[in-house]
Structure 1
Amino acid sequence: MTSTSWRHLPPAARAIAVAATDAVEAARAQAAEPYAEAAERLAALDAEPTGRVLGAVVRMLLEERHPDGLDGDDVRAALEHAVRWAAAWRDVDPQVMVVLLVGALGIHETGEEAPLPPRALAEHAPLLISDLLQARTFATYLEAAFTEIQRAEIHDA
C-alpha cells in the first residue's frame, strides 16, 4: 500500500491514485511481483479515466523536461530511454510505449485508432512514468493531473 493518502479524492479517482502509485513505486524499485499486482489492479479500473490521468502525468513530465517544446528527437529519446530501462527488468512492448507517448502529447486522434487495451495501459504507463520521473515525486504530478482534469470538466460543463 502507498504511503500517500488519497482520502480527499472520490472513490473512483482514489482507486486510480492508489493503484497507479503502487505501480510506479514498484516500477521504480524494479520489483516484478508487486509491479504485476499493482498493474493488475490498475487494469481492472475504468480505462478511460485511468488513461486520462496517466496521460496527463506523462504530458506534464515531458513538458517540464522540455519547457521550450518537444521535437521528434526529444520524443524518440524519451521513448528509447524508457524502453531500454524497462526492458532491463521486464517485458515491454515498444509500440505500446509509442502509443502512450503520442497519446499523452495529443498527437493522434483518438477516433482514428482503437484505444489501448486496459492491460497494456496498466502494464506500460507506470513504466514510462517511472522513467520520466527520475528523482521527482510521483504524488505531486498525480495530484496536478487530477486537478487539471477536474478544472477541464468544470470548464466543459
Structure 2
Amino acid sequence: MWPTEWPRAARDIASATDEAVTAARVPDRDAFEESCEKLRPLDLERVRAVHSAMVREVLEDLHPDGLTGESVQEALERCARGATTWLPDLQVPLLVTVLTGALGLTDPDEESGPQDRFAVARHALVVLADLLSTAQAPASGYLRRAIAEIARAETVEMP
C-alpha cells in the first residue's frame, strides 16, 4: 500500500497510523490498542512529526477561511465527547497537547519521557480519527503528504 521507496520506518508509521485511525473511527478499542502498540517501538519523535503534520493539514482543510481559537476548542470538545464513550482512559490534557503541539503553540520537547511520548502519540490518533471523520476523508492521502513533506525537509540543506 505504501511506496516501496519509503524507508521501512516510514512504512511502519504509516501502516500503524492508518490502522489505528481506522479502528478509532469505527470505534474498535481492541483493534485501536493493537495498532497503537505497533507505534511503541518506533521513533516516537518521527511519529509525532507525521501526526502533527496530518493534524495541521486536516485542520486547514476543515477551516479554509482560517483557524480560530473557537475552531480548535470545537475540535477538542467534539473529539473528547466522542472518544470518552469508547476510550475510558482518555486524557483531555493530552488531546490539548496534540492540538497545540501540531499548531506550534507548545514545545513537544517539554514532554518528560518515552511513556508520555507514547501517550501523546496514542491521543494524536484519536484526534486524527475525529478530524478525518469530520472531513469525511481517509487517512492515506494525509499520511502520504506528511511523510513526503518530512522527507523533503530532511533532504533540504540548511544554509
TM-score by length of 2: 0.89
Deviation for aligned residue 1:39: 0.7
Separation of aligned partners in 2, 1:143 and 1:71: 26
Deviations 1:72-127 (A, max 9, x none): 1111001111111111111211000000000000112345x226723212321111
1:55 aligns with 2:56: no
Separation of aligned partners in 2, 1:156 and 1:75: 34
* SS in structure 2 of the partner of residue 8 of structure 1: coil
Identity of aligned residues (%): 39
* SS in structure 1 of the partner of residue 39 of structure 2: helix
Kept in 1, the 8 Å contact 2:13–2:39? The answer is yes
Structure 2 unpaired stretches of 5+:
none
Kept in 2, the 8 Å contact 1:16–1:42? The answer is yes
TM-score by length of 1: 0.90
Deviation for aligned residue 1:131: 0.4
Q: Which amino acid aligns with 1:96?
A: L
1:96 pairs with 82, 89, 94, which one? 94
RMSD between superposed Cα atoms in Å:
1.6
Kept in 2, the 8 Å contact 1:55–1:100? The answer is yes
Separation of aligned partners in 2, 1:82 and 1:156: 38
Kept in 1, the 8 Å contact 2:132–2:139? The answer is yes
Q: Which moved more, 1:95-104 or 1:40-49?
A: 40-49
Q: Which amino acid aligns with 1:103?
A: G
* Distance change >3 Å, CA 143–CA 83, structure 1 → 2: same
User: 2:17 matched to which residue of 1?
Assistant: 20
User: 2:41 matched to which residue of 1?
Assistant: 44
Deviation for aligned residue 1:156: 4.0
Kept in 1, the 8 Å contact 2:97–2:120? The answer is no
Count the aligned residue pairs: 153
